[in-house]
């Protein structure tokens, strides 16, 4: 019988068994971390040969331009290599440092301080500024717009992506809405990829605000976990069809491809947007790390197909971890009514929805038993999950043995918290 269908006496018995199991795990005194989507040591090892791609002996063959000032928008070879990640021509790419989050922050800051384009009012002078946030979503996105004081508006995520009926209505009626966060492929944390219809509707938006911008964070565009990966319609091309070329900024990086702390990040945008970005960027910096760009180009031999081959090696490490999570959830919680989840075709997370009002308690129980998770509520603006349901599981960092133990504790915590809630 499902716990949600039990009577009070049956629930009390279920709770007693769950509590006993949980206390046994707690007594082990473990310290396991599934808080963030950090690559594990096996993944990092795949890229360590990159450190040998440039040596002192190579220096004579390398142009001094690589080592010197200049090259504001990155070396041409890196643009060519990574443009396919964004699905834009290489002339529509700027190559930055290691962090796409840094680019997103700078882009919001630029629009806030100077406006989203030539002749457009700075957002700081626009009174109340609002931002659309598909939920559950990426906590670091929400942290940026919260820092700048924007009013964040929740938009429900569907199996097709953000609820476009909601998005279209809001942006067409309210010129104070200046943007939307999007993780369009293997979304953080749900693993959903936007449908063709969603991308087309996004590209065809008719915002009341002329300076409305889509922040298209395609962080997981090559992070597949299956032989039949999801496919994402090309936003850049769809924008052109609608005459909305300037409405989006696209972001990607090698943070979870090579080294998170020493990768490269890229921005793709229209000619007008790139011109506007570079106008202030030239004051901000003389250029990013061209030596690291060249290191990446050499490691992949300048070919995007080699990047994809590298990601198959990543998949061989990650797919078993995701299988551990989803198989254990199905075995222990499938059909119980105590939670729901989706096995993603790619990305870095498994999104778990508990019974309403249980997420914070589950995370707290896990912490007491030695398993650190991302805080409950983090996947919503202001850290406030209205139903206290969503928990983001990050399977990448622990070893497989640690992951199995962490999931045992997670499942025990779900059962105990659910029993407490149902009895209450």
- Could you write out the DSSP letters of every residue in 86-101? HTS-GGGEEE-SS-HH
What is the reported pLDDT for 58?
83
**Exposed e or buried b per residue across 254-268, where buried means at least 16 C-beta atoms within 10 angstroms of its C-beta:** bbbbbbbebbbbbbb
What is the reported pLDDT for 39?
94
Give the domain extent around 244: 63-302
User: Total structural domains in the chain?
Assistant: 2
Examine the fold and report which residue of 302, 332, 349 is the final residue of a domain before the chain moves on: 302
Residues 391 and 361 in one domain: yes
- Residue 95: in which H helix or E strand, if any? strand 93-95
Task: Decide if 55 is inside a domain.
Answer: no
Task: Decide if 287 is inside a domain.
Answer: yes
Residues 284 and 399 in one domain: no
Q: What is the pTM of this model?
A: 0.96
Task: Decide if 49 is inside a domain.
Answer: no
Reference 164, options 196, 208, 121, 212; nearest CA is 196
Residues 231 and 99 in one domain: yes
Examine the fold and report which residue of 286, 302, 318 is the final residue of a domain before the chain moves on: 302
Task: Decide if 175 is inside a domain.
Answer: yes
Residues 116 and 239 in one domain: yes
What is the reported pLDDT for 59?
81
Residues 193 and 76 in one domain: yes
Residues 314 and 242 in one domain: no
* Per-residue pLDDT of the chain in tens (424 residues, 90 and over written 9): 898 999 999 999 999 999 999 999 999 999 999 988 899 999 999 999 999 999 888 887 899 999 999 999 999 999 999 999 999 999 999 999 999 999 999 999 999 999 999 999 999 999 999 999 999 999 999 999 999 999 999 999 999 999 999 999 999 999 999 999 999 999 999 999 999 999 999 999 999 999 999 999 999 999 999 999 999 999 999 999 999 999 999 999 999 999 999 999 999 999 999 999 999 999 999 999 999 999 999 999 999 999 999 999 999 999 999 999 999 999 999 999 999 999 999 999 999 999 999 999 999 999 999 999 999 999 999 999 999 999 999 999 999 999 999 999 999 999 999 999 999 8
Task: Decide if 242 is inside a domain.
Answer: yes
Residues 324 and 238 in one domain: no
Residues 294 and 411 in one domain: no
Examine the fold and report which residue of 260, 286, 302 is the final residue of a domain before the chain moves on: 302
Length of the chain (residues): 424
What is the reported pLDDT for 56?
87
**Three-class secondary structure assignment of 324-373:** HHHHHHHHHHCCCCCEEECCCCECCCEEEEECCCCHHHHHHHHHHCCEEE
Helix, strand, coil share (%) of the chain residues, nearest 5: 50, 15, 40
């Amino acid at each position: 019988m499902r716990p949600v269908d039990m009577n009070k006496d049956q629930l009390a018995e279920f709770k007693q068994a769950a509590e006993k199991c949980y206390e046994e795990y707690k007594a082990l005194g473990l310290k396991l971390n599934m808080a963030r989507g950090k690559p594990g040591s096996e993944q990092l090892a795949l890229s360590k040969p990159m450190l040998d791609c440039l040596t002192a002996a190579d220096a004579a063959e390398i142009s001094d331009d690589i080592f010197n000032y200049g090259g504001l928008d990155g070396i041409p070879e890196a643009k060519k290599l990574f443009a396919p990640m964004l699905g834009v021509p290489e002339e529509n790419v700027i190559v930055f440092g290691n962090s796409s989050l840094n680019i997103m922050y700078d882009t919001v800051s630029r629009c806030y301080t100077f406006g989203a384009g030539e002749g457009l009012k700075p957002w700081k002078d626009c009174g109340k500024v609002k931002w659309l946030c598909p939920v559950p979503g990426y906590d670091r996105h929400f942290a940026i717009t919260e820092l700048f004081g924007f009013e964040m508006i929740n938009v429900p995520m569907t199996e097709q992506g953000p609820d476009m009926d909601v998005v279209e209505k809001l942006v067409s009626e309210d010129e104070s809405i200046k943007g939307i966060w999007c993780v369009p492929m293997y979304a953080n944390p749900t693993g959903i990829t936007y449908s063709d219809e969603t991308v087309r509707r996004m590209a065809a938006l008719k915002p009341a605000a002329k300076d409305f911008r889509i922040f298209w964070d395609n962080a997981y565009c090559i992070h597949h976990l299956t032989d039949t990966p999801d496919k994402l319609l090309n936003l850049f091309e769809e924008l052109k069809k609608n005459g909305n070329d300037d409405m989006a900024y696209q972001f990607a990086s090698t943070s979870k491809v090579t080294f998170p702390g020493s990768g490269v990040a890229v921005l793709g945008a229209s000619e007008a947007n790139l011109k506007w970005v570079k106008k202030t960027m030239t004051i901000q910096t003389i250029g990013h790390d061209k030596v690291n760009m060249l290191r990446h180009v050499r490691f992949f031999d300048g070919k995007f197909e080699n990047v994809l081959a590298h990601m198959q090696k990543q998949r061989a490490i990650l797919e078993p971890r995701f299988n551990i999570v989803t198989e254990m959830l199905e075995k222990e919680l499938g059909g119980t009514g105590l939670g729901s989840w989706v096995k993603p075709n790619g990305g870095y997370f498994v999104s778990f929805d508990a019974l309403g009002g249980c997420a914070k308690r589950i995370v707290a129980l896990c912490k007491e038993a030695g398993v650190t998770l991302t805080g409950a509520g983090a996947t919503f603006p202001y850290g406030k999950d209205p139903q206290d349901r969503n928990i983001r599981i990050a399977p990448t960092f622990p070893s497989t043995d640690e992951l199995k133990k962490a999931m045992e504790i997670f499942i025990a915590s779900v059962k105990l918290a659910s029993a407490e809630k149902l009895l209450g």
